[in-house]
Structure 1
Amino acid sequence: MNTISYRWMTSLVFVLFAGLLGAWSAADASELPALNITQVSENVFSAIGATAAPSRDNFGHNNNLSFVITEGGVVVVNGGDNVLLAAALHRAIEERTDKPVRYVINENGQGHAFLGNSYWSDLGVTIIAQREAIEEIKAHGEASLSQMRARMGPVVTDARVVVPDVAVDDHYVLELASEPIELRRFGAAHSPGDLSVWLPKQRILIAGDIAFHERLLGIFPDSDVDAWIDSFDVMASLNPVVVIPGHGHPTDIETLRYFTQGYLQFLRDEIEVILDDDGGLSDAYEIDQSAYESLDTFDELARKNAGRLFRQMEEKLFQ
């Protein structure tokens, strides 16, 4: 199928999909969110999300949605939080190229990575994720969908969970003309199935949620902090020139090391002292984290992080 035919069919499917969504009554194509697109290189772009919790006001766009334009088509990183956000990203892509979107990569099994998959799937795009992320989507996708529906309201009435088509493990290469794109899992970290995208010719890394610097990272019940610290070193060994983190603007690896690996090591060391002194959870909550208080979401996450990591480390101590 030639490019013109593909684009005509894509437009037709988009219109039919929008109509079927009655969901669009409150937000038609002219009311899609305006995305803040950062151009990272000649062919790499990222829609930088808010460094805050997802909300109706920000259309759930609180993470980075990136895309790479190659001669063989476009690769999108993250399906988006919902179909409206996915459609807005598609519009931004079509403003920059007539190449079709070939692949969508979900960086993990969290809602903002996969809840927009249905938009891309209905256009015939192949969706890829790490194997553990796919299991997360299967197990918890409907719960994430319910939360998103409650937040977004009637504009996503017909939203549904779409499980990725292709499961990858630690390394997978997409060959698209002259631009090889590598999918990399550096090890356990922020959440099950963390997956990064590496462009070796340009030395650009779309890291995903293994790396933070403008907002405080979150430690979740399924985060593995010890492994995350080690996985960060594996990632850094690529010596990327530019890194697009999961949240926040593109930056360098040393900035991310300070605010991600450095923060994790600091918190772990502080909790080790508390445990050695037979301290308790209340002591963990009082750890002085003020060195990181300039980061967005600090007030929401700092004490939670300390409490969750304390419980994890205490449990390991008595195993």
Structure 2
Amino acid sequence: MPKLPLLLAFATASVAFPALASEDIPDQYPQSPLYSKPVEVIPHVWSAIGATAPPTYENAGHNNNLSFIVTDEGVVVVNGGASAELAEALHAEIRGITDQPVLLVINENGQGHAMLGNSYWRDQGVEILAHADAAAEFEEYGAQILEGMIRYNRDRAEGTRLVSPDRTFEEREVIELGGVRIEVLHLGPAHSPGDVQVWLPDWEIVIAGDIAFHERMPPIFGDTVTAEWIETWETAFEPLGATYVIPGHGHPTNMAQVRRYTHDYLVYLRGQIRAHLDAGGDLAGAYYVDQTPYAHLDTFEELATRNAGRVFEEMEWE
């Protein structure tokens, strides 16, 4: 087992990093398009922690975690990044850490900050892997996603083009590289189509992607089914037994913390909507169900009412 570094020791011993996750904190790495410099979470596993705010020109769209695993035979990157510029900046950081080449990029889902940087990696000759559903999502909506990124990123979008993954998988892809076993898993429906978790069983760390949140509110999309997300969590994600969790957004932490702010939030919100429905409530009223226990989370103002409305629409016909 790799020795626990100070960063993750703090994350695991304390409850979270609430003071570090504010949307008001300025860019933490102004000399780079990256929002923050990569940190070694445990030996050989690094992550550049993104802003917990929505994507902006100021954070260059780096509002998710860009992680990578360094082995004796090469590097595996998790997430292509929100643009070619951001991917290139991450690659520069990797080159400063190791002489090993990047051999594989894993897209954790079909969203822009997972896939738009694929164009840079393709130009470097790096293979790109994603779940089949994520690839299909990007194929269908990629033009809109790119257009949205160009609107906020302006000149920082230069050089970014749509590039789909080279290959896809359905349930599990196992990679043995430099003595490290890397399991790329699709555990079931969760946050968005084709959600991927990267599990390193020998080191008990999971790069969880958007199945797990703890510093910002989980967004619930129009095609998210929260009942299935909860089931995937309980039957497949938490049973991995991960000691360390790198969530899709926010600092590395532990399973108890992401359970509290993802699984338990979904259960809580469904309970509030169920009570509202049982009282004869309508969609307009659903937006105002109580979510104050989670009001301290970043993006609460942007997402809370939207989440409530979407869960109402889901549960109305259950």
TM-score, normalising length: structure 1? 0.88
Unaligned ranges ≥5, structure 1: 1-29
Aligned equivalents of 1:39 and 1:131: distance in 2? 30
Which residue of structure 1 aligns with residue 299 of structure 2?
297
> What letter matches 1:263 in structure 2?
Y
Aligned equivalents of 2:242 and 2:249: distance in 1? 17
Which residue of structure 2 aligns with residue 128 of structure 1?
129
Per the alignment, in what secondary structure is the counterpart of residue 133 of structure 2?
helix
Displacement of 1:294: 0.9
Q: Which protein is richer in helix relative to its size?
A: 1
Aligned equivalents of 1:222 and 1:89: distance in 2? 31
Contact 1:35–1:89 (8 Å) recurs in 2: no
Which residue of structure 1 aligns with residue 7 of structure 2?
none
Displacement of 1:155: 3.4
Which residue of structure 1 aligns with residue 186 of structure 2?
185
Per the alignment, in what secondary structure is the counterpart of residue 130 of structure 2?
strand
Which residue of structure 1 aligns with residue 86 of structure 2?
85
- Counterparts of residues 61-140 of structure 1 (less than 5 Å): 61-140=62-141
Which residue of structure 1 aligns with residue 273 of structure 2?
271
Which residue of structure 2 aligns with residue 52 of structure 1?
53
Contact 1:35–1:88 (8 Å) recurs in 2: no
Contact 1:243–1:252 (8 Å) recurs in 2: yes
Contact 1:55–1:152 (8 Å) recurs in 2: yes
Q: Encode CA deviations 1:62-85: one digit per residue, 9 max, x unaligned.
A: 000000001120000000000111
Unaligned ranges ≥5, structure 2: 1-30
Contact 2:120–2:160 (8 Å) recurs in 1: no
- Counterparts of residues 150-229 of structure 1 (less than 5 Å): 150-229=151-230
> What letter matches 1:303 in structure 2?
T
Q: Encode CA deviations 1:124-170: one digit per residue, 9 max, x unaligned.
A: 00000001000001000111000111111133244211000010111
Q: Encode CA deviations 1:106-131: one digit per residue, 9 max, x unaligned.
A: 00000010000000000000000001
Which residue of structure 2 aligns with residue 146 of structure 1?
147
Q: Encode CA deviations 1:179-202: one digit per residue, 9 max, x unaligned.
A: 010001110010000001000110
Aligned equivalents of 1:227 and 1:113: distance in 2? 22
Aligned equivalents of 1:140 and 1:171: distance in 2? 24
> What letter matches 1:231 in structure 2?
T
Q: Percent identity?
A: 49
Aligned equivalents of 1:108 and 1:307: distance in 2? 24
The alignment status of 1:37 with 2:65, answered yes or no, reads: no
> What letter matches 2:315 in structure 1?
M
Which residue of structure 1 aligns with residue 289 of structure 2?
287
Structure 1 stretches of 4+ moved >6 Å: none
Change (3 A) 1:237 1:294: same
Per the alignment, in what secondary structure is the counterpart of residue 237 of structure 1?
helix
Contact 1:108–1:195 (8 Å) recurs in 2: yes
Contact 1:32–1:87 (8 Å) recurs in 2: no
Displacement of 1:232: 1.1
Which residue of structure 2 aligns with residue 22 of structure 1?
none
> What letter matches 1:242 in structure 2?
Y
Displacement of 1:220: 0.5
> What letter matches 1:311 in structure 2?
E
Change (3 A) 1:34 1:276: closer
Aligned equivalents of 1:32 and 1:187: distance in 2? 33
TM-score, normalising length: structure 2? 0.88
> What letter matches 2:157 in structure 1?
V
Aligned equivalents of 2:150 and 2:33: distance in 1? 17
Question: What is the number of residues matched between the two proteins?
Answer: 287
Contact 1:47–1:66 (8 Å) recurs in 2: yes
> What letter matches 1:243 in structure 2?
V
Whose radius of gyration is greater, 1 or 2? 1
